[in-house]
Chain A
Amino acid sequence: MNQTVFAPWNDPEAKPLIQFKQVTKKFGEFVAIDALSLDIFEQEFFALLGPSGCGKTTMMRMLAGFESPSSGSILLAGKDIAPVPPNKRAVNMMFQSYALFPHLSVWDNIAFGLRRGGGSKEEIAARVEEMLRLTRLTKFARRKPHQISGGQRQRVALARSLAKAPKLLLLDEPLGALDKKLRQDTQFELMDIQEKTGTTFVIVTHDQEEAMTVASRVAVMDEGRLIQVSTPDVIYEAPNSVYVADFIGDVNIIEGAAAQEGDAVTITWAEGQPPINARSTLSLSPGQKVHFAIRPEKLTISAERPDDAANAMTGKVLDIAYLGNISTYHVELPSGQVLKAQSANTRRIARRSFTWEDTVWLSWTNTAGVVLEK
């Protein structure tokens, strides 16, 4: 096991594999990518996350060479790739629409790129078989794309892009159509491939759990801009904005006015409610409007007021969402604000401690949540 942490983005000496430098892409008047700068390092597993239409596919297409930036430049291993046509780039892309060749069998689809590479027949056959095994498509090798299911088609597209073992692999929602089990298996296969071959992956996903599982870093995008680029744990624990906090996972947001003393922040947020105690390294002006974000699983729910909690509030259970392993309690505070609190279902459902209309206490430590300016 390699003990040094893989974090080239923290190393000022490290040379990025891909550099976006003030890249803007316009379609007519519409700005799809807005002065975006980004470094992606070799052997990274980089995840792009963002709402539909925020420009994820457009970024991929610029890397693959199907779109050129309206301004700014993209460097691959230090060289501007603008003049390099798609077929000369050591980049393979898995298309969001799969783009399988309908006239070719699954086998020939996967072999397509290999045949352009000039390997021997045996090498190509061996590689195709390997890819078929990896994506569990061996049984369907002779079928045409219209004779297999949507999930199988997605796997063919994945296999086809993996087959050439490129330096940079672009996966546009590679696993969306797969069931959870197969998706997890494939995620681990991808991570395995990544570890074995050292290929750099850029992956678009709508599944934040997937981004958390596979990615070395996650970029959250909105309207053609990067909102935050960081490791999954930082994105989750220390989002830099309400947008990111809200986009990744479940979150409670409380708006209030801040007062700061050192790194201790108190947020007054509703009349008759105790202020929230939190910590923050931001420097806030007195009375500044801030958002306090806290994840539901960071709230402890109890029947009695805990003695030593930095924050404690009482409320009434409005609703309980049973999710199998955990339950989410919607607790309405006297101010009308509803907070979500999660707790693990360590007991059977019939024996759970709280039920509808119960009065409960919610508590959390002063480091459980984050203070956000925007």
Chain B
Amino acid sequence: MRRLILIGLPYLWLLALFLVPFLIVLKISLSDIALSIPPYTPQLDLSEGWAGFRAFLAALDFENFTFLTTDDLYWKAYLSSFQIALLSTLMTLATGFPIAYALARAPREWRPTLLMLVILPFWTSFLIRVYAWMGILNTEGLLNQLLLALGLISEPLTILNTNTAVYIGIVYTYLPFMILPIYAALEKLDDSLLEAAEDLGCSRISAFWLVTVPLSRSGIVAGCFLVFIPALGEFVIPSLLGGSQTLMIGKVLWEEFFSNRDWPVASAVAIILLLILIVPIILFQRNQQKQREAEG
């Protein structure tokens, strides 16, 4: 019985906070837009009993999903989100790996402090930090002032409201999610393995590729998914830092919901996004599982 409760609890949690909202969104995505509150029909009216439910089901259709295929805005937004998420994941990896490596190599007594510094940004609200980037990146911002003062540029650069700013924002925001799993993998790495590799004729660099990288693979994969998955549906960063040409599905979603008040289409967009995300999430789970097995 106790075990049942223990196993049941997380499922109950999932049911209440994931499955029920998901079903509601799914239902809305199958409805039609209407000028009412809430702004869609049909509404489920339980007072009419079974017949009412049948009528309700009959009124649902896949119209909104078909609509998504007719307007190329949507698939372009998905594609461009995918592209931005992928590219920024790679950039986060390129930035995060050396940092994680340096952390894992730092003297043992420094490591807790350094880790603390990696996590420190979380102490400030994410939104405030993104606003801070607006202050840094805009034409009169700190970055331009600095570059002008150094004489590296003569005209201020336009960074804010471009895709570049979006990349900077994503890399900055998700960097800790990349660093932490890679650090965890690198920290476990036994130095004598590198010595063994060198002893057997590897140079430092080839030992890095043949030993360090494969052995931190699970951390790298975990970090990449932890960045890629939220970046794909990112809304705040593209809408605050990105420009009019920045096309990301999170932004489209927001606009459908709040500007167009087209809840059914917005829900359909959300459902498709979720389906797209399921693939990397399953891959991520599999990676974690494999790692656990490898650790025996």
Q: Which of B196, B211, B294, B296 contacts A95 (CB 8 A)?
A: B196
Is the CB of B26 closer than 8 A to any CB of chain A?
A: no
Is the CB of B43 closer than 8 A to any CB of chain A?
A: no
Closest to B295 in A: A146
Is the CB of B198 closer than 8 A to any CB of chain A?
A: yes
Contact with A along B214-258 (1 / 0, CB 8 A): 110100000000000000000000000000000000000000000
Is the CB of B279 closer than 8 A to any CB of chain A?
A: no
The reply to whether B294 and A117 contact each other, CB–CB distance below 8 Å, is no
- Bound complex: CA A228 to CA B173 (Å): 64
**Residues of A46-99 whose CB lies within 8 A of B:** 64-66, 85-87, 91-93, 95, 97, 99
| Most chain A CB within a 10 A radius of its CB, from B195, B197, B199 | B199
Q: Which of A92, A95, A116 contacts B192 (CB 8 A)?
A: A95
Is the CB of B202 closer than 8 A to any CB of chain A?
A: yes
User: Using Cβ atoms and an 8 Å threshold, which residues of chain B touch A160?
Assistant: 196, 200
The reply to whether A113 and B296 contact each other, CB–CB distance below 8 Å, is no
User: Using Cβ atoms and an 8 Å threshold, which residues of chain B touch A102?
Assistant: 193, 215, 294
- Bound complex: CA A160 to CA B206 (Å): 18
Q: Which of B195, B206, B214, B296 contacts A86 (CB 8 A)?
A: B195
Closest to A85 in B: B198
Known contacts A99-B192, A102-B294, A87 near B215 by CB under 8 Å: no
- A62 CB to closest chain B CB (Å) equals 13
Is the CB of B203 closer than 8 A to any CB of chain A?
A: yes
The reply to whether A66 and B214 contact each other, CB–CB distance below 8 Å, is no
Is the CB of A112 closer than 8 A to any CB of chain B?
A: yes
- B195 CB to closest chain A CB (Å) equals 5
Is the CB of A164 closer than 8 A to any CB of chain B?
A: yes
Is the CB of B72 closer than 8 A to any CB of chain A?
A: no
User: Using Cβ atoms and an 8 Å threshold, which residues of chain A touch B192?
Assistant: 95, 97, 99
Is the CB of B190 closer than 8 A to any CB of chain A?
A: yes
- Bound complex: CA A146 to CA B210 (Å): 19
Is the CB of A181 closer than 8 A to any CB of chain B?
A: no
- Bound complex: CA A146 to CA B215 (Å): 14
The reply to whether B200 and A164 contact each other, CB–CB distance below 8 Å, is yes
Known contacts A87-B203, A116-B201, A116-B202, A66 near B215 by CB under 8 Å: no
User: Using Cβ atoms and an 8 Å threshold, which residues of chain A touch B198?
Assistant: 65, 85-87
The reply to whether A117 and B201 contact each other, CB–CB distance below 8 Å, is yes
- Bound complex: CA A66 to CA B215 (Å): 21
User: Using Cβ atoms and an 8 Å threshold, which residues of chain B touch A92?
Assistant: 199-200
Q: Which of B195, B202, B217 contacts A99 (CB 8 A)?
A: B195
Is the CB of A101 closer than 8 A to any CB of chain B?
A: yes
- A157 CB to closest chain B CB (Å) equals 9
Number of A-B contacts (CB under 8 A): 61
The reply to whether B214 and A113 contact each other, CB–CB distance below 8 Å, is no
Interface residues on A, range: 20 to 34
User: Using Cβ atoms and an 8 Å threshold, which residues of chain B touch A144?
Assistant: 294
- Bound complex: CA A101 to CA B192 (Å): 10
User: Using Cβ atoms and an 8 Å threshold, which residues of chain B touch A146?
Assistant: 294, 296
User: Using Cβ atoms and an 8 Å threshold, which residues of chain B touch A91?
Assistant: 199
Is the CB of A103 closer than 8 A to any CB of chain B?
A: yes
The reply to whether A87 and B193 contact each other, CB–CB distance below 8 Å, is no
**Residues of B172-213 whose CB lies within 8 A of A:** 190, 192-193, 195-203, 206, 210-211
The reply to whether B296 and A99 contact each other, CB–CB distance below 8 Å, is no
How many residues of chain B have a CB within 8 Å of chain A?
20
Closest to B190 in A: A99
Q: Which of A66, A85, A101 contacts B193 (CB 8 A)?
A: A101
User: Using Cβ atoms and an 8 Å threshold, which residues of chain A touch B193?
Assistant: 99, 101-102
- Bound complex: CA A64 to CA B193 (Å): 14
User: Using Cβ atoms and an 8 Å threshold, which residues of chain A touch B190?
Assistant: 97, 99
- Bound complex: CA A100 to CA B203 (Å): 18
The reply to whether A113 and B195 contact each other, CB–CB distance below 8 Å, is no
Known contacts A103-B214, A103-B215, A95 near B195 by CB under 8 Å: yes
- B194 CB to closest chain A CB (Å) equals 9
Closest to B195 in A: A66
- A187 CB to closest chain B CB (Å) equals 23
- A117 CB to closest chain B CB (Å) equals 6
User: Using Cβ atoms and an 8 Å threshold, which residues of chain B touch A95?
Assistant: 192, 195-196
The reply to whether B199 and A112 contact each other, CB–CB distance below 8 Å, is no
User: Using Cβ atoms and an 8 Å threshold, which residues of chain B touch A164?
Assistant: 200-201
The reply to whether B201 and A101 contact each other, CB–CB distance below 8 Å, is no
Closest to A118 in B: B201
**Residues of B138-189 whose CB lies within 8 A of A:** none
- Bound complex: CA A104 to CA B262 (Å): 54
- B219 CB to closest chain A CB (Å) equals 13
- Bound complex: CA A85 to CA B201 (Å): 10
- Bound complex: CA A102 to CA B197 (Å): 12
The reply to whether B199 and A86 contact each other, CB–CB distance below 8 Å, is yes
User: Using Cβ atoms and an 8 Å threshold, which residues of chain A touch B215?
Assistant: 101-103
The reply to whether A99 and B196 contact each other, CB–CB distance below 8 Å, is yes
Contact with B along A21-64 (1 / 0, CB 8 A): 00000000000000000000000000000000000000000001
The reply to whether A87 and B201 contact each other, CB–CB distance below 8 Å, is yes
- Bound complex: CA A92 to CA B193 (Å): 14
Closest to B192 in A: A99
User: Using Cβ atoms and an 8 Å threshold, which residues of chain B touch A64?
Assistant: 195, 199
- Bound complex: CA A93 to CA B195 (Å): 10
Known contacts A87-B203, A112-B197, A164-B200, A101 near B211 by CB under 8 Å: yes
**Residues of A163-206 whose CB lies within 8 A of B:** 164
The 4 closest A-B pairs by CB, nearest first: A116-B201, A113-B200, A99-B196, A99-B192
Given A97-B192, A99-B196, 19 extra CB contacts under 8 A:
A65-B198, A66-B195, A86-B199, A87-B199, A91-B199, A92-B199, A92-B200, A93-B196, A95-B192, A95-B195, A99-B190, A101-B193, A102-B215, A102-B294, A112-B197, A113-B201, A117-B201, A144-B294, A160-B196
Q: Which B residues contact A (CB, under 8 angstroms)?
A: 190, 192-193, 195-203, 206, 210-211, 214-215, 217, 294, 296
Please list 12 pairs of residues, one from A and one from B, whose beta carbons are closer than 8 Å in the complex, sorted by A's number.
Answer: A66-B195, A87-B201, A87-B203, A91-B199, A92-B199, A99-B192, A99-B195, A101-B197, A102-B193, A102-B294, A112-B200, A144-B294
